[in-house]
Amino acid sequence: MPISLGNRTILALAVGGLTAAAVAQENASVPVSALRRVPAETTAAAYVDKNWKAPRTSWGHPSFEGAWSTDDFRGVPVNRPPTQGNRTSLTPEEFAKRAQDIESGRDFSVNVGTFLRHEFGLRTFGYTSMIVDPPNGQMPALTPAAEAAARATTRGTFGPGPFDDFDDFSLYDRCITRGVLGSLLPVIYGNGLRITQNPESVALSYEMIHDTRIIPLDGRPALDNDIRQWMGSARGRFEGDTLVIETTNFSDRTFIGSNGGGVPNTEQLKLTERFTRVDPVMIEYVATVDDPGAFTAPWTMRLMITSRPGYEVLEY
């Protein structure tokens, strides 16, 4: 029988005598049509209601608390297809095609039994890419050292092997971490993010691999340069309604990309993230990657983190 968890329903399916947990089914308490906006969402929701004000905590900080997800941003590529040039938004025809593809994915996730969850959100966004700078929406070229490191890096279970040692598997294979950006970029499931706050810090808890970042807000100095961590060392502050997080002290064994894969970063990486709540169910997330050891120029990506009625971050 279905086990209801907020607005996800995990279906228990008997397959050849074996029981498997299957896909998440949308079960929102409001009509789906009321949540699915169309090309208006090619821009931030702030343009929908310019008079909306972000809520405040009891101590006066902008409130980001709650259960959020990047499910709605599935379908938006990290890099913009070259044929779209410097356009940041889809044409009406391109948007209709993306909306149709995502709707087909929703239907598949609900109606086809599988041992994996396969989650889509309720909205379709019309951005051409997540990367917004450079203007062509393309990740800058790698440095020669980064190109060599990428060629030498094991692909884990997606590579040809051999698999003789634990180091032949990726950090993601071993459920150690997906990295900061890898924990937020949308994949087939596990895109939840729980945000909690107190006057001195903000905690970001990611659903898959269940990393939690504690972001101090008290102005403490950065860690010593010799201390390196999978998720780096973060320091936060508020600039008006925006939470700004600057993270340094990364290990050079992590990556910039989906599910902890992609481009190997170096210890020079500085990541600047900006969270701005733009309506009751949407946070605009802008991240700038500055790693001169890996990329020939800094670059910036933008995605929308959303919520919906009854959404919960599940145990992973």
Q: What is the pLDDT of residues 30-42, one digit of tens each?
A: 333 333 444 434 4
The whole-number average pLDDT for the span 187-216 is 94
Per cent of the chain over pLDDT 90 is 53
- Tokens standing for residue 137: 């929406």
Centroid of chain to Cα 297: 22
Q: What is the pLDDT of residue 116?
A: 57
Alpha-carbon separation of residue 201 from 245, 250, 271, 313 (angstroms): 11, 20, 18, 20
Average pLDDT of the chain? 81
192-198/201-206 β-pairing: antiparallel
Confidence band of 19 (pLDDT split at 50, 70, 90): very low
CA distance 249 to 247: 7
The whole-number average pLDDT for the span 143-166 is 80
Which of residues 66 and 10 earns the better pLDDT score? 66
Q: Which amino acid is at 219?
A: G
Q: What is the pLDDT of residue 195?
A: 98
| Per-residue pLDDT at 162 exceeds 90 | no
Which of residues 76 and 166 earns the better pLDDT score? 76
- Please name the residue ranges forming H helices in the chain: 32-35, 92-111, 144-152
For the beta carbon of residue 206, count every other beta carbon within 10 angstroms. 23
Coil, strand or helix at 153: coil
Q: Is the peptide bond before 134 cis (omega within 30 degrees of 0)?
A: yes
| CATH architecture group of domain 131-306 | Beta Barrel (2.40)
Q: What is the pLDDT of residue 164?
A: 83
- Tokens standing for residue 148: 């060599």
Contact indicator for 100, 124 with CB cutoff of 8 Å = no
| Per-residue pLDDT at 160 exceeds 80 | no
Site of tokens 């890099």? 79
212-216/131-133 β-pairing: unpaired
CA distance 295 to 172: 23
Helices (runs of H) and strands (runs of E) counted in the chain:
3, 15
Which of 58-67, 80-89, 161-170 shows the lowest mean pLDDT across its residues?
161-170
pLDDT in tens, 259-303: 777 888 999 999 999 999 998 999 999 999 999 999 999 999 999
